[in-house]
Amino acid sequence: MRGKRVRIRAKGRIFEGIALPSEDGKIVLKLDNGYNVGFYDYEIIEEEEFEVPEVKLPAVKEREGLKNVKVISTGGTIASKVDYKTGAVTSQFTAEEIVSDIPELAEICNISAELLYNILSENMRPEYWITLARRVYEAIKEGYEGVVVTHGTDTMHYSASALAFMLRTPVPVVFVGAQRSSDRPSSDAAINMICSAHTALSDLGEVAVVMHATTSDDYCHIHRGVKVRKNHTSRRDAFESVNYPPLGRVWSDGRIEWIAERFRRGERELQLFDSLEEKVALIKYFPGLTPEILEFFHDRGYRGFVIEGTGLGHVSTDWVDTVKRVAEDSLIVMTSQCLWGRVCDRVYDTGRYLLKAGVIEGEDMLPETALIKVMWLLGNFELEEARELVKKNLVGEINYRSGYEEEFE
């Protein structure tokens, strides 16, 4: 393999480093300090090709006394690796590669790695969730102590929700990603990966997301898969639990502090419901949006709808008639674009007209979680049953309010 080292002038300064793959006439350099810089306007002063010696990674040996963890890769920043020496983007995602990158992992568990997909997280689709759920199900049946799924961060919370509904798991199923790739000094890949391995061995029996809890390298949060959301485009602590506390904190030395009620290891029997209805729409309401949008989807065969209404769960009053018509053969769930808080009926407003028209309130579910829940319900149950089940807390996605006392607030 050959690499290329270049010296350029850009923005009035000199930069020198390994040229990384790029496009559109942009040049991207990996500087010697590990940082990347990119420029459209630049002048090459000097360049030199060099031969990169092939590195043979040592085989990973199983260590006695360590438990087995399955690591399944679906792609994303955490799995992508730009070779520091060649500039090539490579990833075979073998156990050898992972352990060579993060040697601490070999002390924690015996890793069996598998590259299931290598897709950009924004290209995730319901059909991929089905394959992933089946693969995780098999791994659990094979007896792994826990499963780690590496995933791009963009849609990781959608995927975690999907697996939480499709799979009742007696062991930890841990989604993990990285906001900064492992070739950057500020990368969160290693600590996230180490913390997810510890979580995979823990007394957890549900689908979780493990990611940086703070902007420093302190510890990670273990988030409930159906209660987590990416709330920042770039920060390492972008993932936050919404309307439920993180399940716990996990440090890279293996210490875990549980915070909230969780499903425990072995609490639920392994079950797979590997069907999803893809034709479900999430619609965010805004002032001026007309209800034709419902008909657009309905005409195309959609029978599941999640509305992201305003405030406590509203849309314009002129939606009521259309909602009523569409709800006749569909499941319509109301959530809130506030994201935090609960959708609920109130005493003096149009909310009650929507309920009469057939809208079901999503309680404190995130819109993204409600979307996946409806996909899953319509994929596995008849409409009437789905309408009943959507109101019920199935895997921790709903926390009910305490009852009528709430009106005293």
State in angstroms the smallest separation of the CB of 203 from its own copies: 31
Is residue 154 annotated as part of the catalytic site, yes or no?
yes
In whole angstroms, give the CA distance from residue 198 to residue 109.
8
CA angle (322 as vertex; 400, 355 as ends), nearest 5: 25
Q: Annotated catalytic, 77?
A: yes
User: Torsions phi, psi of 224, nearest 5?
Assistant: -65, 130
As a residue count, the chain comes to 409
Q: First CA to last CA across the chain, in angstroms?
A: 68
Q: Up-side HSE of residue 288: CA atoms within 13 Å toward CB? A: 0
- For residue 347, the minimal CB distance to its own copies (Å) is 5
Q: What is the largest CA-CA distance in the chain?
A: 75
Active-site choice (77, 155, 169, 322): 77
322 is catalytic: no
CB 122 within 8 A of CB 154: yes
Question: Minimum Å distance from CB 326 to its own copies?
Answer: 15
* Catalytic-labelled residue, pool 70, 230, 322, 364: 230
Task: Take residue 195 and report the two structure tokens written for it.
Answer: 């913390």
Work out whether strand 271-272 and strand 280-284 pair parallel, antiparallel, or are unpaired. Answer: unpaired
155 is catalytic: no
Nearest approach, Cβ of residue 301 and its own copies (Å): 12
Tokens of 41: 């306007």
- Which burial class, exposed, middle or buried, applies to 62 when counting CB atoms under 10 A from its CB (0-12, 13-18, 19+)? exposed
Nearer to its own copies, 236 or 387 (CB): 236
Between 138 and 406, whose beta carbon lies closer to its own copies? 406
CA 104-110-116 angle, 5° bins? 100
Give yes or no for a contact between 78 and 192, defined as CB atoms under 8 angstroms apart. yes
57 backbone dihedrals φ, ψ, rounded to 5°? -75, 140
Phi, psi angle pair for 296, to nearest 5°:
-55, -50
Q: How far is the CB of 216 from its own copies (least distance, A)?
A: 14
Taking Cα atoms as reference points, which of 372, 300, 374, 377 lies closest to residue 125? 372
Cβ closer to its own copies: 15 or 251? 15
Alpha-carbon span 401 to 362, nearest angstrom: 12
* CB closer to its own copies, 201 vs 210: 210
Using the minimum distance from each CB to its own copies, give the nearer residue, 116 or 120: 120
Among residues 86, 153, 169, 199, the one annotated as catalytic is 153
Nearer to its own copies, 137 or 319 (CB): 319
Decide whether 52 or 338 has the Cβ nearer to its own copies: 338
Question: Could you say which of 81, 83, 154, 322 is catalytic?
Answer: 154
Query: Please, what is the minimum distance in Å from the beta carbon of residue 174 to its own copies?
Result: 20
Contacts of 56 (CB under 8 A, 6+ apart): none
Q: Which residues, at least 6 apart from 382, have a Cβ–Cβ distance to it below 8 Å?
A: none
* Least distance CB 111 / its own copies (angstroms): 26
* Residues taking part in catalysis: 77, 153-154, 230
